[in-house]
Amino acid sequence: MAGNTETVAGYITAEIGVEAVDVGDVSGDDVAGFDGLIVGAPTWHTGADTERSGTAWDEFIYGDLTSLDLKGKKVAIFGLGDSAGYSDNFCDAMDELAECFKKQGADIVGSVDAGDYEYEESKSVAGGKFVGLACDEDNEPDKSEERVKSWIAQIKGEGMPL
């Protein structure tokens, strides 16, 4: 809605040399055909347990995704949030994506230490780590590009086929 997810997707695509695709423009078969997936979504600040992105992901992960066999496929997740305005559910949608992809057999890679972030609560944190790369273009846009570079190196080391 604000374009922040697209901005960070742009940093990622520039780093790895691929083109970003909106999930609303692909089918389940398209997704299943990729060797690995880097997926990103914002968090819609509802505090709900489902449909937290407010994007086409909400339909895809409870629709097309549920019929896919993604056993062993590497999936890395990045999320956008506002750590000041919505500090109590910062980047929650990453957790929802991770859980839905795991149900289809995917191997989630790219967890990030949550210690470098200021927020109150996030469903996407377990054991002191975000399930993926959290970015805050509203309050910390100056950190996103460096976070992306480090994260890309990390997920390559975790077997992401880039």
pLDDT value at residue 109:
98
pLDDT digits (tens, 9 = 90+) for 134-162: 999 999 999 999 999 999 999 999 999 99
Q: How confident is the model at residue 47 (pLDDT cuts 50, 70, 90)?
A: low
Q: How confident is the model at residue 48 (pLDDT cuts 50, 70, 90)?
A: low
Burial (CB count <10 Å: 0-12, 13-18, 19+), residue 25: exposed
| C-alpha–C-alpha distance, residues 60 and 113, integer Å | 28
Rg (CA), the chain: 14
Instruction: Let me know how long the chain is.
Output: 162
pLDDT digits (tens, 9 = 90+) for 61-72: 888 899 999 999
List for the chain the helix, strand, coil content (%; round to 5): 40, 15, 45
pLDDT digits (tens, 9 = 90+) for 102-118: 999 999 999 999 999 99
**pTM confidence score:** 0.92
